[in-house]
Amino acid sequence: MPDTVHVLNGPNLNLLGTREPEVYGHATIADVEAACRAACARHRLDMVFRQSNHEGELVTFLQEARGSRGVVLNAAAYTHTSVAIADAIKAVGLIVVEVHLSNVFAREAFRHHSYVSPVARGVICGLGIEGYRLAIDALATAGGRIS
């Protein structure tokens, strides 16, 4: 499993392509998965791709990623509300790159705070699905040891 990247997506990301395309773009969750698979393939990495609308399920996914190269996490709205997700990241000692499709700092004030950022190794926001590829590249080229 050390050559596996987990790409985890939170609530409402299953609606990509139809949900507020002016904010999130026209790419679907299938497009995100395809881009992530291509990025992992370039680095000869395996990938686990998951999406859930349920906070507890995302916590379980994080726990199941233990021992992997790292996690690309778009926790979506849970970024701004979930101590449980932050605690799960700390508990399992994962290398996490936090990703957001939109620039959260150009949006509502409540989106400016992240419970994930303090326990993530890095944060990428506002670059659309390209942010996922950049996160995978970072995990791959740093050998899972982003500092």
Q: Tell me the per-residue pLDDT of 39-87, one tens digit each, with 9 for 90 and over.
A: 999 999 999 999 999 999 999 999 999 999 999 999 999 999 999 999 9
Assess contact for 85 and 55: CB atoms under 8 A: yes
CB neighbours (10 Å) of residue 73? 28
| pLDDT band per the 50, 70, 90 thresholds, residue 98 | very high
Say if residue 46 carries a ligand binding annotation: no
Of 6, 78, 100, 115, which is the active-site residue? 100
What phi, psi does 12 have (nearest 5°)? 75, -5
Q: Which CATH class is domain 4-141?
A: alpha beta
- The residue assigned the tokens 């996160």 is 135
Tell whether residue 53 is among the known ligand binding residues.
Answer: no
Residues 122-143: tens digit of each pLDDT: 999 999 999 999 999 999 986 5
Per-residue confidence band for 9, with pLDDT thresholds at 50, 70 and 90:
very high
Comparing CA positions, the residue from 27, 71, 64, 66 lying closest to residue 45 is 71
Q: Work out the angle between the directed axes of helices 130-141 and 29-42 (0-180°, nearest 10).
A: 30
Of residues 24, 78, 115, 132, which has the active-site annotation? 24
Residue 20 — φ and ψ, nearest 5°? Answer: 40, 65
24 is catalytic: yes
Annotated binding residue at 102? Answer: yes
Phi-psi sector, 62: left (phi>0), alpha (psi -120 to 50), beta: alpha
Answer yes or no: is 112 a known binding residue.
Answer: no
Bridge partners of 15, per DSSP, are none
* Structure tokens, 52: 């859930």
Instruction: Phi first, then psi: give them for residue 72, nearest 5 degrees.
Output: -100, 120
